[in-house]
Amino acid sequence: MPKILELDQHVADLIAAGEVVERPASVVKELVENSIDAGAKVITVEITAGGMTYIRVTDNGCGIAPEDVTTAFLRHATSKLSGAEGLEAIGTLGFRGEALAAIAAVSRIELLTRERGAREGVSLSLVAGAIADISPAGCPEGTTIIVRDLFFNTPARKKFAKSDRAESSAIAVTILRCALSRPDVSVRYIRDGKAEFHTPGDSRADSCIYSLLGRDFSAGLLPAESSDETVSVTGFVSSPAAARGNRSFQFFFVNGRPIISRTLQAALEQAFANKLPSGRFPSCALYITTGHGNVDVNVHPAKTEVKFISDKQVFDGVYYAALGALNALGSGATLRTEDQGSGIRDQGSGDGGYEGTGVKGQVLGDGGYGSTAFSGKQGGGFKSMPADEFRTKYDSNSQLSIHNSKFSSGRAVSEPGVNSQYSPLNSQVNDFRVIGEALKTYIITEYQGSVWFIDKHAAHERLHFDALRKNGYEPMSQTLITPVICRHSREDIALILENTDMLEGLGFTVDSFGDDAVAVRRIPADIDIADAEPVLSDICAALSIGGTPTPAQRDGIYKTIACKAAIKAGKSSDFRELETLAARVFSGEAAECPHGRPVAFEITKHTLDKGFKRV
């Protein structure tokens, strides 16, 4: 057995640092939180080179007493918590006493601090967590911490740093959230010598939002408010007309802490149910206040998630605040038509009518034709193939067997004459005939004794989606003569710049372009130039800052691209294109569209014969 040793302090600190200090933005977050906890009313953050060489945070908070400055850098040293009871009701942003130790372990630090009312301050410098110098110093009240050469002693971590631009954007997002969380604190962000933004600190959420997110965003906001005995909510939600293609403008704060919460997201979106088309999301800045004992903030390493004692109470708080805001808007709160056109994903106008079995004009009821034909009545003769049924049938390993009876709604009609069976792998699939295209949307084909309708957009989308998912996918790109400049939120810019490699693999070449835009130089060959921006927004919606995309997030991205690259319903297609698509569908390549809608359904000869009373 190898001997078990206790790790020395330095190694232990390096390990801990890995958890707390993942990247420059996490350093900034911890330092700004410390300033807020110190009661600062003015906080300035300055960085250079994406925060890798220099981060300075200055505040006018309470300062640190000379006798405490070195303790502050010890692990688990905190002034915010004295015993386990304190953990039950935490009123400060920090409480673990880890941040300063962790940051110090992987950088060179200079600290300058003077307690409120003290005659002089103290200056301390540390290198990789070891004290290099400590001396009295004249300085303003408050604290300044300078962090230089982040990760200088952990080359492996340094390698993971993204471009300066990507790190600066992530920092901007972090500061934006902190600044938004506290309208009573004036926050200023300076990057490479240039003032990026600053909030007035006048305690008004609206002026804080305005200074950070601009006039257009502010103009679309409605005041929102609700309260009961335990939870109160104030802030703003966007009007339905100002909805966006993703959630990056949904800001929630619980007792002043910026948090990410699916419960609150769901509450907000539920209030907007039926007011927004799918793929559009409300924005908000909502400030939730509840007793400290009602939330557990000690559930997430970066403290960005919390647990509520009662999810339902906060859900209701947010839901009713948002609903009240919408109701106050009156009938104007319903979707304005111009929204329909902008950025609605996947459902082009020709796409709408075939969810499940609800095909318009669906006919062929049992009760004889003449009168019921084309009444829209749900009969039994045919229906669209349910997704999972189709999937099993088209599982390329299994013998595909299509029994018409399976597709009749609930009636077991056995039809000996029309029992088509083939294996998609062996099939030559040349025994079909494209009859034509209906409504610029459906390919009508005759195949093995039945008439099949194929949704050309859904089929094409599926094929493209599967191609994207394959290992070694090689995108075909078009280089744009003039790069498309896409404006996005800071959060989205950060996401895009963090994921340029992944985007490259999908056929997008994207560069930074100022602070609120990116330049798109190449896009996949089959995507319209006009779609470049919406596709990028949608991709952002599927990602989250600071992590590699999960398989589900990747699928979300592929779906977006496949949908935009697929031939559109509502536009007539070349006959050859229709034939190629039909051949691929019948060979079992496309079972259902990536959104789970069917790609094809069948009307059997028997059904037709019955309709015409031939049988």
The residues of the shown chain that bind Mg ion, judged by CB under 5 A, are 34, 94, 99
Beta carbon of residue 64, minimum distance to Mg ion (angstroms, whole number): 12
Sequence-ordered list of residues with C-beta below 8 angstroms from that of 406, at least 6 positions apart, any chain: 389
Complex with Mg ion: residue 298 or 426, whichever CB lies closer: 298
Sequence-ordered list of residues with C-beta below 8 angstroms from that of 230, at least 6 positions apart, any chain: 290, 291, 294, 310, 313
Complex with ligand ADP: residue 71 or 234, whichever CB lies closer: 71
Calpha distance 207→199 (Å, rounded): 8
72 contacts which partner out of Mg ion, ligand ADP, none, CB within 5 to 8 A by kind? ligand ADP
Indicate the helix (H) or strand (E) that contains 60: none
Hey, what are 474's tokens?
Answer: 């090689």
Calpha distance 198→45 (Å, rounded): 10
Beta carbon of residue 19, minimum distance to ligand ADP (angstroms, whole number): 13
Output the residue with the shortest Cβ distance to ligand ADP: 94
Strand order in the sheet with 194-198: 130-137, 121-127, 108-114, 142-148, 54-59, 42-48, 186-191, 194-198
Beta carbon of residue 143, minimum distance to ligand ADP (angstroms, whole number): 4
Calpha distance 599→587 (Å, rounded): 13
179 contacts which partner out of Mg ion, ligand ADP, none, CB within 5 to 8 A by kind? none
Complex with ligand ADP: residue 34 or 44, whichever CB lies closer: 34
235 contacts which partner out of Mg ion, ligand ADP, none, CB within 5 to 8 A by kind? none
DSSP for 419-467 reads EEEE-TTT-----EEEEEEETTTEEEEEETTEEEEEEHHHHHHHHHHHH
Complex with ligand ADP: residue 144 or 226, whichever CB lies closer: 144
Indicate the helix (H) or strand (E) that contains 26: helix 24-37
> In b/e form, how buried is each residue of 398-410, taking b as 16+ CB within 10 angstroms?
eebebbbeebbee
Calpha distance 242→250 (Å, rounded): 13
97 contacts which partner out of ligand ADP, Mg ion, none, CB within 5 to 8 A by kind? ligand ADP
Beta carbon of residue 62, minimum distance to ligand ADP (angstroms, whole number): 5
344 contacts which partner out of Mg ion, ligand ADP, none, CB within 5 to 8 A by kind? none
Beta carbon of residue 554, minimum distance to ligand ADP (angstroms, whole number): 35
The DSSP code for 353 is T
78 contacts which partner out of ligand ADP, Mg ion, none, CB within 5 to 8 A by kind? ligand ADP
Complex with ligand ADP: residue 72 or 173, whichever CB lies closer: 72
Complex with ligand ADP: residue 54 or 210, whichever CB lies closer: 54
Complex with ligand ADP: residue 111 or 458, whichever CB lies closer: 111
61 contacts which partner out of Mg ion, ligand ADP, none, CB within 5 to 8 A by kind? ligand ADP
**Pairing, β 186-191 against β 42-48:** parallel
Calpha distance 442→359 (Å, rounded): 12
59, 38 contact by CB (below 8 A): yes
Beta carbon of residue 32, minimum distance to ligand ADP (angstroms, whole number): 9
Over its C-alpha atoms, the chain yields an Rg (Å, rounded) of 30
Calpha distance 128→297 (Å, rounded): 29
Hey, what are 559's tokens?
Answer: 């779906």
Complex with ligand ADP: residue 57 or 325, whichever CB lies closer: 57
Return the bridge partners of 454, or none: 443, 600
Beta carbon of residue 78, minimum distance to ligand ADP (angstroms, whole number): 3
518, 486 contact by CB (below 8 A): yes
Beta carbon of residue 78, minimum distance to Mg ion (angstroms, whole number): 7
Beta carbon of residue 117, minimum distance to ligand ADP (angstroms, whole number): 14
Calpha distance 174→196 (Å, rounded): 13
Complex with ligand ADP: residue 63 or 524, whichever CB lies closer: 63
Nearest of 288, 193, 189 to residue 232 by alpha carbon: 288
Beta carbon of residue 76, minimum distance to ligand ADP (angstroms, whole number): 9
Complex with Mg ion: residue 34 or 226, whichever CB lies closer: 34
Beta carbon of residue 92, minimum distance to Mg ion (angstroms, whole number): 8
Output the residue with the shortest Cβ distance to Mg ion: 94
Angle between helix axes 456-469 and 575-586 (nearest 10 degrees) is 60
420 contacts which partner out of Mg ion, ligand ADP, none, CB within 5 to 8 A by kind? none
Beta carbon of residue 83, minimum distance to ligand ADP (angstroms, whole number): 14
Complex with Mg ion: residue 102 or 208, whichever CB lies closer: 102
Beta carbon of residue 44, minimum distance to ligand ADP (angstroms, whole number): 12
Return the bridge partners of 231, or none: 290
The DSSP code for 83 is S
Total H helices, total E strands in the chain? 18, 24
Complex with ligand ADP: residue 72 or 264, whichever CB lies closer: 72
268, 243 contact by CB (below 8 A): no
Calpha distance 57→22 (Å, rounded): 18
Complex with ligand ADP: residue 90 or 468, whichever CB lies closer: 90
Q: What is the residue whose two structure tokens read 């039909």?
A: 582
* Residues binding ligand ADP (CB under 6 A): 30, 34-35, 37-38, 59, 61-64, 72, 77-80, 94-101, 143
Nearest of 561, 494, 484 to residue 172 by alpha carbon: 494
Complex with ligand ADP: residue 82 or 428, whichever CB lies closer: 82
Beta carbon of residue 524, minimum distance to ligand ADP (angstroms, whole number): 45
